[in-house]
DNA sequence: CATGAATGAGCGTTCATTCAT
DNA sequence: GATGAATGAACGCTCATTCAT
């Protein structure tokens, strides 16, 4: 058991934590070096530039740190699920439930993903993960026939929106669980095999 | 009677068009007055301030302009559809097809909606529209039982993501139509009545 | 009897009146052409530039207009007084009482005098008037021996301050009269002949 | 222990000095950050914003700095005077003489006081000081009966005007002393007990 | 006479980044 | 390693003034 995610130690970690907090509470747009420095208790922004190559570097570090945290929460739950459908459900539900545990990190990550100028590894990685999951699931007969790219896009964005809304005003755990279940149900129905899906 | 406001509204329209183009190509964050002025062939940013009360005013005008354009394209198609399911499909498909006609406007609107500090009428209006459509559709037996709020959130965000991705690199009309159909299929399946949807 | 001070007619007068009102209520610093145009019900500042050679011209016209008004109130009262002392008293008291009749004009004039870059005719004229009054009064034995320049400076400034304070929050006429009397008493005592005035 | 704030406070002091000089020579209205920066030999206005929270902060620092300088000159002279009348004389005379030592500071302070949007501590403090001095002096029989508020207003404003005029074109020390004595005489006569002061 | 669009300089402020110490 | 003063460009916005119509 490790006390801290591996990312960084000392100052870097302190700055990253401050940056996440600032993005979570003030938004990406307002997350200037001076605001982050103030939140971190630093007397100047020079410290941040000293430890990070630039704003992108800091933001990337934030994404990495948050992914550590979210991964630590979600991955075991996903791994515990058996089958493509169950894993999709586990991904969605654990992501929504994560809001109850780490609302700041969730808020910040979504804001970062939204405002990322270039599609970061995080964003495209998750997209590729969904696509691949759908593809293998279709091959295994767990999912019906649908465009994996479009579906991956729509599902990740829809998940983010639900999660962001929940994170903006964190509900009770039970309500959070219900929302996760609802969304997972929706996605499972949408991807179930055998449905006609043709024009109504 | 003279169309005395022609010149004035002409400049306003020109600035709005320039602003939309800049937001579409450089993003909301980079859409500064000077960039917009340069794009519009104006010699100074003062001209923009002359025609608009402030940045918010300009942005609001952009949203209004875009909504008019998108509404003119989508509304007839939606109105032509009969039944809740067909209308949902028409909304989704016409929105995706719209990318082929007005990629800049679509790109800009999504960026504007994303970065709107306060939920604008546009964004919350669409959400409410979806919710209400689902609610009445459920009452009419056209849709199954699901959380209308969560579904509206996920669907509008998913639709935006698909549309934004298409707008970033506009495909052939046929491909666009296919993507729209795929997404509509997905949504129709997800909301169809009679599906169990329980844990798999 | 004339219905209007001679200054100007039509647009010019309208603009001058608006400028006075704006200076009175918002202060010299905020009295921009656009603010004045808005107050005058004009749609653009071009109208002001069309009628006045520049900001200085407009401001000078304001001063002239206000002096017309204040002169119409004060001059008869001063003329009615007999003797140097009584005239000094009449000047002071009528100036303070003027606040009850034309608070806006008084406020504006004082603000204009304060912020006049170069000493205007108005300001230096009044100073010269006081100096001359003291000089002839001393020759007539109505006033004691004192530096007329210093006294004129101190008295006009002191009068302005009292008047400005009263104009900022106009008191009852009776209170206004009392303040005028108090100030006049003060000035009369200070300039009375026969007082030693040496170091105490 | 290190004098760590030396550099920082050095720059602040340098900027304050530059600001005072600019206000003194160009007036409050023209005292923009860029003008002050240029006068201070700084390459940009950003440096001023770096050291001061805003324009108000800088202006407040200027007032504080000037009050320290003027207090250091005037206070000993006032304290050395015995009795209410002598102290009034000492205040007036030392204030006028101060012009010979610190003309820029005097000019700047008067301009700052004039243009202070809200009555600063400086201006209302001095007014209260005069009022209180008159009140206690009247109780002690040193002054006659007069409205302390009106007198305080007129005297401080008159003193400012005399000082400002002297500062605009600094005379010889002897002339300065004479002007101070004249003004003090005037004020002493005006407030002396026993004078009738009624209508002449 | 009158209009209002256009201009261009200037405002205070914030920003990410650099660099001598 | 760490500091914080310094930089200079950019921001949205206001200003007095000009000028073609």
pLDDT tens digit sequence for A1-49: 333 444 456 788 999 999 999 999 988 888 999 999 999 989 889 999 9
Please tell me the predicted confidence (pLDDT) of residue D195.
Answer: 54
**C173: contact with D, CB 8 A cutoff:** no
Residue D15 CA from chain centroid, whole number: 20
Characterize A63-92 residue by residue with b for buried, 16 or more Cβ atoms within 10 angstroms of its Cβ, and e for exposed: bbbbbebbeebbeebbeebeebbbbbbbbb
Residue A102 CA to F4 C1' — how many Å?
34
Strand E: which nucleotides have any atom within 7 A of a protein Cβ?
1-19
Of all residues in chain B, the percent with pLDDT exceeding 90 is: 76
Confidence band for C7, pLDDT divided at 50, 70 and 90? very low
Residue D41 CA to F7 C1' — how many Å?
13
Question: Which site among A118, A158, A159 would you substitute to test the B interface, given the most B Cβ atoms closer than 10 Å to its Cβ?
Answer: A158
Neighbours of C29 (CB within 10 A): 13
Instruction: Judge: A154–B150 Cβ closer than 8 Å, yes or no.
Output: no
- Which two tokens mark C186? 């003060």
CA distances from D91 to B190, C73, C157, D77, D189 (A): 87, 37, 18, 8, 15
How many residue pairs from chains C and D have C-beta atoms closer than 8 A?
115
CA neighbor of A116 nearest in space, from A165, A62, A39: A62
pLDDT tens digit sequence for D138-154: 999 999 999 999 999 99
Please tell me the predicted confidence (pLDDT) of residue A120.
Answer: 65
Q: Provide the greatest CA pair distance for chain B.
A: 70
Residue B178 CA to E14 C1' — how many Å?
47
Contact present, B195 and A189 (Cβ < 8 Å): yes
Please say if the pLDDT value at position B4 is more than 80. no
Taking residues D79-83, report their average pLDDT.
97
Q: How many residues can be counted in chain B?
A: 200
Number of helices and strands in chain C (H, E): 9, 0
Looking at every residue in chain A, the average pLDDT score rounds to: 89
Please say if the pLDDT value at position D126 is more than 50. yes
CA distances from A22 to A26, A166, C199, D27 (A): 6, 18, 67, 42
Neighbours of A31 (CB within 10 A): 26
Distance CA A12, CA A19 (A): 10
CA distances from D39 to D15, D17, D27 (A): 9, 9, 14
HSE-up of residue A153 (Cα within 13 Å, Cβ side): 19
Distance CA A101, CA A73 (A): 9
Taking residues D167-179, report their average pLDDT.
96
Instruction: Provide the 8-state DSSP code for C29.
Output: G
Taking residues C137-144, report their average pLDDT.
97
**D87: contact with C, CB 8 A cutoff:** no
Confidence band for B167, pLDDT divided at 50, 70 and 90? very high
**D115: contact with C, CB 8 A cutoff:** yes
Please tell me the predicted confidence (pLDDT) of residue A190.
Answer: 97
Taking residues D182-195, report their average pLDDT.
92
Confidence band for D130, pLDDT divided at 50, 70 and 90? very high
Distance CA B153, CA A168 (A): 14
Instruction: Judge: C158–D162 Cβ closer than 8 Å, yes or no.
Output: no
pLDDT tens digit sequence for B124-157: 789 999 999 999 999 999 999 999 999 999 999 9
Neighbours of A5 (CB within 10 A): 16
Please say if the pLDDT value at position D23 is more than 70. yes
Confidence band for A200, pLDDT divided at 50, 70 and 90? very low
Least confident of A120-124, B163-167, C29-33, D123-127: A120-124
Helix boundaries (H) for chain B: 6-26, 33-40, 46-51, 55-80, 84-101, 103-115, 121-139, 148-168, 173-191
Please tell me the predicted confidence (pLDDT) of residue B114.
Answer: 82
Please tell me the predicted confidence (pLDDT) of residue D120.
Answer: 65
**C188: contact with D, CB 8 A cutoff:** yes
Residues 7-26 of chain C: which lie with beta carbon within 7 Å of strand F?
Answer: none
Could you give all domains of chain A from N- to C-terminal order, each with its CATH number? 11-191 (1.10.357.10)
One-character DSSP codes across B72-117: HHHHHHHHH--SHHHHHHHHHHHHHHHHHH-HHHHHHHHHHHHH-S
Q: How many residues can be counted in chain D?
A: 200
Please tell me the predicted confidence (pLDDT) of residue C185.
Answer: 97
Instruction: Judge: D195–C197 Cβ closer than 8 Å, yes or no.
Output: no
Contact present, C105 and C20 (Cβ < 8 Å): yes
Distance CA C5, CA C13 (A): 9
Burial of A174 (0-12, 13-18, 19+ CB in 10 A): exposed
Contact present, C23 and C107 (Cβ < 8 Å): yes
Of all residues in chain C, the percent with pLDDT exceeding 90 is: 74
Confidence band for A50, pLDDT divided at 50, 70 and 90? very high
**CA of C185: which chain D residue's CA is closest?**
D197
Q: Would the Cβ of B75 be found within 7 angstroms of any atom in strand F?
A: no
Of all residues in chain A, the percent with pLDDT exceeding 90 is: 74
Q: Would the Cβ of A50 be found within 7 angstroms of any atom in strand F?
A: yes
Distance CA B118, CA B128 (A): 16
Taking residues A120-130, report their average pLDDT.
83
pLDDT tens digit sequence for C48-87: 999 999 898 999 999 999 999 999 999 999 999 999 999 9
**Residue found under tokens 């205040």:** D91
Characterize B156-195 residue by residue with b for buried, 16 or more Cβ atoms within 10 angstroms of its Cβ, and e for exposed: bbbbbbbbbbbbeeeeeeeebeebbbbbbbbbbbbbbeeb
Please tell me the predicted confidence (pLDDT) of residue B9.
Answer: 67
């Amino acid at each position: 058991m490790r006390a801290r995610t591996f990312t960084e130690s000392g100052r870097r970690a302190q700055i990253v934590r401050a940056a996440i907090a600032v993005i979570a509470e003030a938004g990406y747009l307002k997350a200037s070096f001076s605001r982050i420095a103030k939140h971190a208790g630093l007397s100047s922004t020079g410290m941040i530039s000293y430890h990070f190559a630039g704003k992108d570097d800091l933001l990337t570090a934030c994404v990495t740190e948050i992914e550590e945290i979210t991964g630590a929460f979600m991955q075991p739950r996903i791994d515990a699920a058996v089958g493509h459908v169950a894993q999709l459900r586990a991904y969605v539900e654990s992501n929504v439930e994560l809001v109850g545990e780490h609302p700041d990190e969730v808020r910040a990550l979504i804001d970062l993903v939204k405002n990322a100028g270039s599609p970061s590894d995080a964003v495209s990685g998750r997209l590729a993960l969904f696509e691949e999951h759908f593809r293998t699931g279709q091959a295994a007969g767990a999912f019906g026939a649908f465009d994996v790219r479009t579906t991956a896009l729509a599902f990740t964005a829809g998940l983010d929106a639900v999660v962001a809304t929940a994170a903006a005003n964190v509900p009770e755990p039970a309500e959070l669980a219900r929302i996760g279940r609802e969304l997972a149900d929706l996605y499972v129905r949408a991807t179930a095999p055998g449905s006609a899906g043709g024009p109504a």
